[in-house]
Amino acid sequence: MAAYVIGHISIKDPEKWEAYRSQVPATLAPWNAEIVFRGKRVAVFSGEHPHADTVVLHFPDEAAARAWFASPAYQALAPLREQAADVVLIVYEA
């Protein structure tokens, strides 16, 4: 079953965010994952959503998503991510 990692993002430091964001694709390759889309919020039709940006990553399965997140390559970027933005990462199966 495919898995999707959804990231809800509030950028704190645009320069650091761009540095982080530019390095993420290389961490996805070993897991046969891809960026489905990155986008900025246009409107919230119902409820409240504090984050302005979103990213959706596609993985072949949940195990690949978990392995990517725990990988040394991605974890090396975690401190930069935390400096650059407030990010909530959620995994969904589809």
In this prediction, residue 19 carries a pLDDT of: 98
Return d(Cα 81, Cα 64) in angstroms, integer.
20
- Average pLDDT score over the chain: 98
Fold of 3-43+50-93: Alpha-Beta Plaits (3.30.70)
- Residue 53: pLDDT band (50, 70, 90) is very high
CA distance 52 to 32: 27
Tell me the C-alpha distance between 21 and 18, whole Å. Answer: 5
Quick one: residue 65, left, alpha or beta (phi over 0 = left, psi -120 to 50 = alpha)?
Answer: alpha
pLDDT at 79: 98
Q: Can you give the pLDDT at residue 84? A: 98
